[in-house]
Structure 1
């Protein structure tokens, strides 16, 4: 009889994890509030349950389990729902992140408090309660800040306030933008540390951290989309020196363990400032953007999602399964059309013929309205290229971006 895995969330980027689990001979039950969630077509069974409301997902699964079914594992991918994973695990006696760890991983203020408590290097930070307080902090600190909602995701409401710039938004507007994206209406600020930013992704198994995922994040459009902070993909392997990479990986593992991850995955947003690594944020889940499902395997040979599924099923993977076999070049770039109604999409088939291009995904259709680029969900597509070096992969990815034209009419 097949083992059963509960997949919390069935969005587009969850599909690779669902299909990988099925390849491993696992029966996948996906939950999502959207009855048309694309992942439902790939799962063995579908259940309507709100990804971000643990009690609703648990209630739906209890009705499902009353028929005699019992899950063997639970996880989420490309959706920030470790609190729901924790609730399902607690209800059915499964091995997953604890309720405390999930709470820390989804509350940026509590997360920073924990890191400060245990000595994990982080930017200066503070919870704020008004635009006036933000104005006062800017005046006192005289440095660039990041303002963000304490408990949102996908870069929603995250703004860079560049001290001394005549383009810096009004404090009242910035505070409202951040607060409106917080379900609990809580806002925080932190120092903006300049320097290379890195995405890490790894595992903690038997108290030891493994970090096969290591990508240089691309922020070439910081000025274009300012004050919004929009990432435009990344490149692997990293350009950073080996000793800096080792320090970042070590810190990423310590941060995951500090959150309480002891048998699972963790994704880090890191920065190297003046030669020293700092943690910006840490998530207790599989990443989105196809980092874990495509980029890491193509870069390292590590079956990252397969290992994560084993952990979710309560198994203990062998160390060699989590250690890179090689370092191939991988580059990812997103598509950012102008705000407006899509009237034409051209060049996709030509882009697919570019040597080294492994993925072209268009996320919009003719007639659809492209919103202003204020957060990551505004990305209209993605391309990923693989080559012998990161430089050649980047050339292929950029060729694809230049080839694809998504034309919009201004609204």
Structure 2
């Protein structure tokens, strides 16, 4: 009997938990939300604080479970607990020693600096006074964000040092989103933004998907609206893949999934923004990566976490197998009074769509990546055709708020 501990069991972990179950693994799911969607597929549910390491150990011991693997799949919040449990039980994956390289942007930037991995100029600050002193060394515009945040939470783009009110508001926003009470400020890089999804096995970094990122209008270039297969030369994709491998090698990713963000400039320079040692959320892990690459990355992650063979899964990799567009419907302020068109979109060949909201939900302006009302995923042989399908589907969509 092989036991896998899933640290957090929310909507974006549910698919991976299901895949692990289908592969014959037994699942312990830990989440502090009694309504966590992944609980319904778990063999043992631990509804408790995911940071209560002693409590988790006691529960595992009480049920006579010695885990064979631990994963947080797509959850940034669960990464430190997962790493701690791996270290305690001597399991494969990112260790407690290395986990800060993936969840602390300052630690990550320092490591990348040691390995000459290119990124924007930056500094960290713990007070507004420290920020005001250090900001003189950077050129505006700048991006301010928490050192330990994810999903675009707490991020602000500042275009000028002259607006003290905006600076104070941005600092407070980032500071409140940081568990370690620290922010990082980076020079804004003009260029094309990409994401890359990887899976590491025995130290080999397999780049499974590269997508171009678009942002929601009115969010000052901070909230994503679309991830799409890029219409670029193969040479450009190869350059990005090579740079991504070097960036993850510097972070010592030996096994498991990764999600990384980068920008290419008109001069063909590549600058890395941040990297995660987990899968991408919001349909990236369970839908986008398998569609583009042919690899069931959720299953690979579960098996790899337990030290099981994944080479057969990786041999299915055909990159790119298909082109895809993952388009999000950004939220807008008001109460949802009508949702229509999703059934019609699902009837279009090579298109699937789903709402994230229900009638009566109260929405706000899109401030971070969680502020979404639904998604459209289209696939085709070429990036252009995938875009056409997504556009055709979106014309059928109606979500009204008042």
Length-normalised TM-score, structure 1: 0.90
Q: What residue number does 1:96 align with?
A: 93
Aligned residue for 1:254?
246
Q: Does structure 2 retain, via aligned residues, the 8 Å contact 1:31–1:49?
A: yes
Aligned to 1:345, what secondary structure does the other structure show? strand
Q: Which piece of structure 1 moves more, 99-108 or 166-175?
A: 166-175
SS in 2 for 1:170: helix
| Residue 272 of structure 1: how far off its partner (Å) | 1.1
Instruction: Find the residue that maps to 1:70 and give its secondary structure.
Output: coil
Alignment partners' CA distance in 2, 1:173 and 1:337: 22
Give distance in 2, aligned partners of 1:230 and 1:59.
36
SS at match of 1:251: helix
Deviation per CA, 1:106-127, whole angstroms, max 9, x where unpaired?
A: 1111110111112111111101
Equivalence for 1:280: 273
Q: What's the counterpart of residue 196 of structure 1?
A: 192
Deviation at 1:356, TM superposition (A): 1.9
- 1:161-215: CA deviation from partner (whole Å, max 9, x where unpaired): 2349x99972111111111111222111001111111111212223322111211
Encode CA deviations 1:322-359: one digit per residue, 9 max, x unaligned: 7325431211111124211112212222222223213x
SS at match of 2:279: coil
Residue matched to 1:118? 115
Partner of 2:173: 177
Q: Distance in 2 between matches of 1:322 and 1:110?
A: 35
- In structure 2, stretches of 5+ residues that fail to align are none
Aligned-pair CA distance for 1:129: 3.8
Give the Cα separation in 1 of the matches to 2:245 and 2:196. 9
Is the CA contact 2:153–2:368 (under 8 Å) kept in the aligned structure 1?
yes
Q: Tell me what 2:41 maps to.
A: 42
**For 2:258 and 2:114, how far apart are their aligned partners in 1?**
19
- Alignment length (residue pairs): 399
Contact between 2:209 and 2:320, CA under 8 Å: does it hold in 1?
no
| Structure 2 residue 355 is the aligned partner of structure 1 residue 362 | yes
* Shift, 1:240, TM fit: 2.8
Instruction: Answer yes or no: is the 8 Å Cα contact 1:302–1:325 preserved in 2.
Output: no
How far did residue 61 of structure 1 move?
4.0
Aligned ranges 1:3-402 → 2 under 5 Å: 3-51=2-50, 53=51, 56-80=52-76, 81-131=78-128, 134=131, 141-163=138-160, 170-219=166-215, 221=216, 223-226=217-220, 229-236=222-229, 238-273=230-265, 274-318=267-311, 320-321=314-315, 323-324=317-318, 326-358=320-352, 360-402=353-395
Change (3 A) 1:150 1:92: same
TM superposition shift of 1:91:
2.3
Secondary structure of residue in 1 paired with 2:300:
helix
Range 364-373 or range 129-138, more displaced? 129-138
In 2, Cα distance between equivalents of 1:117 and 1:326: 32
Give the Cα separation in 2 of the matches to 1:85 and 1:309: 13
Distance (whole Å) between structure 1 residues aligned to residue 253 and residue 240 of structure 2: 18
Distance 1:168 1:272 in 2: 31
Q: Distance in 1 between matches of 2:157 and 2:67?
A: 43
Residue 91 of structure 1 aligns to a residue whose secondary structure is helix
With over 3 angstroms needed to count, the CA separation of the structure-2 counterparts of 1:57 and 1:390, relative to structure 1, is: farther
Deviations along 1:128-173, one digit per CA (max 9) or x if unpaired, are 2444554566665443111101111111111112349x99972111
- The 1:59/1:78 distance shift into structure 2, 3 A limit, reads same
Q: Which runs of 5+ in 1 are unaligned?
A: none
- Paired with 1:281 and 1:167, the residues of 2 have a C-alpha distance of 27
Q: Answer whether contact 2:14 2:38 (CA < 8 A) is retained.
A: yes
The superposition leaves residues 357-377 of structure 1 with CA deviations (integer Å, 9 ceiling, x where unpaired) of: 13x221111111112211111
